[in-house]
Structure 1
Amino acid sequence: MERVEVLLKNGKVVTQGKIIDGFVAVDKGKIVAVGEGDIAPQAQKVIDLRGHFLIPGVVDPEVHFGSHRWVGDEFDSETRGAAAYGITTWGFMQPSPNMGQPYKAEKEEDEVVSYSEAFNLFKELGESRSMVDFFLTPKILKDEHALEIPRLARDFGITSFKYQLHLMNPERTATFWPNRKSQGYFGYDDGTIYLGLEAVAKLGPPAIVCMHCENWEIARIFEERLLKAGRKEYRVWNERSPQFCEAGHVRTYAYYARVAKCPLYIQHTTTPETIEEITRARAEGGTVYAQTGPHYLSLTEDAWRINVPLRSAEAIEVLWQALADGRIDAVGSDHTNANKSRKEMEVAGDIWATKTGFPSRGEAALPVMLNDGVNRGRISLQRLVEVCCENPARIFGIYPKKGVIAPGSDADLVAVDLNRKVTVSNEMIHSSAGWTLWEGREMKGWPVMTMLRGEVIAEWADGGRRPEIVSKPFGRYLPRSLG
């Protein structure tokens, strides 16, 4: 082989289900060779991995920008956090009013524009500011969005679409989450959902519908009862939206998806009941994928309020088991930037006064999987690569460009020190919010270098307090192809 641009050597390479003591050769942003022994090519630049593990860059399929500030600023700060902690591809789940237009805390109905109209601005902002590559999953807010699905696939390479089922009936649930107006939700119904399922089914693979399953029409009743009872402790948020509210939505909409012959991706799989419903839907002939998140795998219901709620310690163990045995397919961070300090968001002891959501989930994703998963023996490193890299890339139509260490794939690579122990502090956070719920936890296993398309974009120096960004942004939009 001729001289290549970059050679990564002396590492333990996790490649296509196995771990080898070997090297990865990179040229023109692509992996050109993966091998063992002394057959590595000459290179202009050599990176000594010093025995660290080398995994593909994380493909995180669920991120939300723009609810609390301008999308351009989100690209600037939040993608730095992603890159620092091993994410090289982000899947943005955006409502059409939050595609880069001037920021407004509350949208008007006429600002819920078509994605065909809004797409180019989002792409331009991302390609000038993002540290990582990205694709787009539009949120369907009205019939017109569902009807433009064929054009979005044809003209913009968009093949995934999202429904937030808890926001279908906003006038009935408006007092329970006023932030719905920050995204432009003014109400839709099952007809809007069926239009999308039907349109996506006609596209064929890899087109898919994503769903946030959580029945807020029922949660509304529990909230009223809990408020009347004077309950304010943090775990009440879990009681407000019981597990059957999540699982019941899965049963209903998995059936509709099967009727429409549409693949379905269930986000926020948090309960044993939901896993049972997904298993049932698969047995009945549906194509249903399951995602959980780092917060659901490591934080319990007394930590904070979030939609879908954090659950019990017992539920966490079930999620890890399902992740290990294949019932759960993927991990997504569900990263949302509150752009506020913890002091601004939290009213201690009062879940109703505390703000929904918490930041820095993207920065926690890989460390949680390494510490709570691999180093605690719940999953293997190979399985981590499947659920954090390969499976999301396959499901969302960007494999084998992303998600695998193999010749021809993009050289998106992460060096991992499985033995590094660090106590998490807010000073480690790149997100503009500047804090993390994992503060104070000692975690073992950290990404120490991130490479995007052959260029190192983040490094954690020995003795450094956190990984630092070492390149300018050069993220690209990832169009996807049908068939």
Structure 2
Amino acid sequence: MRTLISGGTVLSSTGAHQADVLVDGETIAAVTAPGVFGADVKGTVDSVLDATGKYVMPGGIDAHTHMEMPFGGAFSHDTFATGTTAAAWGGTTTIIDFAVQKKGTSLLSTLDTWHGKADGNCAIDYGFHMIVSDVNDTSLKEMETCIDGGVTSFKMFMAYPGVFYSTDGEILRAMHKARETGSTIMMHAENGIAIDELAAQAVAEGRTDPVQHGLTRPPELEGEATSRAIALAKVTGSPLYIVHLSAAQALAEVAQARDTGQNVFAETCPQYLYLSIEDMAKPGFEGAKYVASPPLRDKSHQADLWRGLRTNDLSVVSTDHCPFCFKDQKELGRADFRAIPNGMPGVEHRMDLLHQGVVAGEISLARWVEACSTTPARMFGLYPRKGVIAPGSDADVVIYDPAARQTLSAETHHMNVDYSAYEGFELTGRVETVLSRGSIVVSADGFTGSTGHGRFLSRDLCQYLN
């Protein structure tokens, strides 16, 4: 199958230029000056997609999702089938999900379980990170086998004592292994011990509404944990990737470390750029829809996060997509905010929401592509197969209409969740057509892909390490 995408503006992490893109089978065959193929092109290709007035960009890579994730007796409501389909609707053609090790189980059996969940069920390509919650001699050795299997990044938690929490000593051991193998430690950086004490005090005093989730997880405790994680990484020589950074205090620690040349990277998420703790304070129990960790912050943090994206102190924008329905799931915490499943939906809207930053002048077109596609490809060992429109790369291509208008709503989104965190948001720009490895999966005809099209991606090591 040969497809020509003609007349569009091709976007990359270095700029924009007018070009035509020839897709042959699953890969990009050529990127040429406009019109090179001439008027008789229809005799040499199977289809022509007119991208006049549109952007042609590499498919998005969401490096932080949680499909079918267990949390507090519930499971996130998107399956790999529904979640990857929703991602495709929003221009994301690759996800990297988290395999969740339970204490007392092995990393390898965990990875097998997650392969079983995803294999044959994904509409787009996918990879895995591994959550390491039980650090011991066996799991440290198994990290090597995971790397051999294409899982080259390992997430740890300074939060959630008794569930995922690791001590500083355990983190140190895992970081030594990461340094030895060239793999990457990803860190949920919040001081979970202090947070649990503040939360217990709140409940004892009768403060149980959803906004307490944010008030008992103050930004100072994210900043402190980020500083501590950076210090441990410096001692061990391990690279460090801070996930879902939400607070100015944490960003300052990352910026300082990067200024000294340390291999420290960080991502943020759209919810921290557009939503705030005021959403958690909505009347009734509506605030439960916005409970995630780290929590939404005061709006004053948003300017710092946008600046961090411009300066590359925030390297990636992911979603931390972890959707729990309001009915029957978020409602588990009506009597106690600590029982509200942590997580929000967003995999479908990341590309569109970040485009609003372009519209508002917060970031450039090149930075949009870089943060949503090219950098996560480089960070997690997928470049140049993914993350770029170039000959030989996978034909993961998005045709994007920058002038289209849309209104976000639970009534129209494709995520398997009963509310939208961005209900009523009016956006400029919209995905028009999506190709995944050369196959059109989203077009004016709707979703034309299929679950099972997506393939597991065995990833290389991070390409940014010194």
TM-score, reference length from structure 2: 0.88
* Residue number among 128, 139, 142 corresponding to 1:148 in the alignment: 142
**1:391-470 superposed matches below 5 A:** 391-460=375-444, 468-470=447-449
Secondary structure in 2 matching 1:191: helix
1:280 aligns with 2:264: no
| Structure 2: distance between partners of 1:116 and 1:251 | 31
Residue 268 of structure 1, CA deviation: 1.5
The residue number in structure 2 matching 1:329 is 315
Q: Match of 1:265, SS? A: strand
Match of 1:76 in 2: 81
Cα 1:343–1:423 change in 2 (3 A) is: farther
1:8 corresponds to which letter in structure 2?
I
2:230 and 2:224 mapped to 1: Cα distance? 10
- Alpha-carbon distance between aligned partners in 2 of 1:220 and 1:120, rounded to the nearest angstrom: 32
Runs (5+) with no aligned partner, structure 1: 98-108, 171-179, 462-466
Picking from 168, 171, 193, the partner of 1:190 is: 168
From 86, 108, 114, the counterpart of 2:91: 86
Paired with 2:31 and 2:312, the residues of 1 have a C-alpha distance of: 27
Q: 2:50 aligns with which of 40, 45, 48?
A: 48
Instruction: Output aligned runs, 1:220-231, within 5 Å.
Output: 220-231=196-207
SS in 1 for 2:231: helix
Query: Which sits farther off after the overlay, 66-75 or 223-232?
Result: 66-75
Could you tell me how far 1:164 is from its partner in structure 2? 1.9
| Cα shift at 1:131 | 0.8
* Whole-angstrom distance in 2 between the partners of 1:470 and 1:67: 24
Aligned to 1:59: 61
Deviates further, 68-77 or 114-123: 68-77
2:345 alignment partner, one of 360, 371, 374 = 360
Q: Secondary structure at the match of 1:357?
A: coil
SS class of match (2:278)? coil
Q: In the TM superposition, what is the alpha-carbon distance from 1:364 to its structure 2 partner? A: 2.1
CA contact (8 A) 1:389 1:403 kept: yes
Q: Does residue 318 of structure 1 match 2:323?
A: no
**Secondary structure of the residue that 1:162 maps to in structure 2?**
strand
Relative distance call for 1:196 and 1:349 in structure 2 (3 A) is closer
Whether 2:156 is the aligned partner of 1:163: answer yes
Mapped partners of 1:15, 1:406: distance in 2: 10
* 1:468 to 1:341, Cα distance in 2 relative to 1, 3 A: farther
Indicate the residue corresponding to 1:295 in structure 2.
271
CA positional deviation for 1:472: 4.5
Q: Per-residue deviation at 1:223?
A: 2.0
Equivalent in the alignment of 1:219: 195
Q: Alignment identity in percent?
A: 27
Show the counterpart of 1:173: none
Residue 23 (str. 1) matches residue 20 (str. 2): yes
Q: How far did residue 190 of structure 1 move? A: 2.4
CA offset digits 1:323-352 (Å, max 9, x no partner):
1121110011101132x2457525999872
Summarize the Cα distance change of 1:378–1:354 in structure 2 as closer, same or farther, 3 Å threshold. farther
Partner of 1:148: helix, strand, or coil? helix
Q: What SS does structure 1 have at the residue aligned with 2:291?
A: coil
Q: Is 1:424–1:438's contact at 8 Å kept on the other side of the alignment?
A: yes
Quote how far apart the aligned CAs of 1:320 are: 0.9
Check conservation: 2:67, 2:97, Cα contact below 8 A: yes
Query: Is the Cα–Cα contact under 8 Å of residues 138 and 162 in structure 1 kept in the other structure?
Result: yes
In 2: Cα distance, 1:347 partner to 1:165 partner: 24
Helix, strand or coil for the counterpart of 1:129?
coil
**Could you tell me which residue of structure 2 aligns to residue 13 of structure 1?**
10
Further displaced range: 34-43 or 380-389: 34-43
Query: Structure 2: which 5+ residue stretches go unaligned?
Result: 280-289
- Give, in angstroms, the shift of residue 381 of structure 1: 1.5
Letter in 1 for 2:401: D
- How many angstroms does 1:245 deviate by? 0.8
Which amino acid in 1 is paired with 2:22?
A
How many angstroms does 1:233 deviate by? 5.4
Secondary structure of the structure 2 residue equivalent to 1:388: helix
Q: In structure 1, how many angstroms separate the alpha carbons of the residues matched to 2:86 and 2:382?
A: 22
1:20-61 Cα offsets, whole Å, 9 max, x none, are 122111112111111222113642211112321111111111
Structure 1's 255 and 15: CA in aligned 2 closer, same or farther, altered over 3 A? same
How far residue 230 of structure 1 moved from its aligned partner, in angstroms, is 4.0
Contact 2:122 2:451 in 1 (8 A): no
Q: Report the counterpart of residue 138 of structure 1 in structure 2.
A: 130
2:282 corresponds to? none
2:60–2:93 contact (8 Å) kept in structure 1: yes
Q: List per-residue Cα deviations over 1:298-323 (Å, max 9, x = no partner).
A: 11112222110101111112111111
Q: Aligned partners of 1:47, 1:434: CA distance in 2, in Å?
A: 34
Partner of 1:36: 33
Counterpart CA distance in 2 for 1:354 and 1:443 is: 33
Residue 360 of structure 2 aligns to a residue whose secondary structure is coil
Deviation of 1:354 (Å): 7.4
1:478 paired with 2:457, answer yes
Moved more, 48-57 or 83-92: 48-57
Structure 1 contact 84–469 (Cα < 8 Å) conserved: no
The answer to whether the 8 Å contact 1:237/1:351 transfers is no
Quick one: distance in 1 between partners of 2:444 and 2:208? 41
Contact 1:84 1:363 in 2 (8 A): yes
Find the aligned partners of 2:101 and 2:212 in 1 and give their Cα distance.
32
**Structure 1 residues 342 and 54, CA gap change in structure 2 (3 angstroms):** farther
Change in Cα spacing, 1:116 to 1:444, as seen in structure 2 (3 Å) is same
**1:134-182 CA distances to partner (integer Å, 9 max, x unpaired)?**
111110011232331112112x121111002202x32xxxxxxxxx4xx
- Which of 192, 201, 215 is 2:179 aligned to? 201
User: How many angstroms apart in 1 are the aligned matches of 2:219 and 2:248?
Assistant: 8
**Mean CA deviation greater in 281-290 or 118-127:** 118-127
Contact 1:17–1:382 (8 Å) recurs in 2: yes
Contact 1:134–1:477 at 8 Å: present in 2 too?
Answer: yes
When the two chains are superposed, the root-mean-square deviation of aligned CA atoms in Å is 2.5
Matched with 2:238 is 262
Equivalent residues of 2:54, 2:401 under 8 A apart? yes
CA gap 1:288/1:348 in 2 versus in 1, 3 angstroms = closer
Pick aligned residue for 2:115 from 123, 134, 137: 123
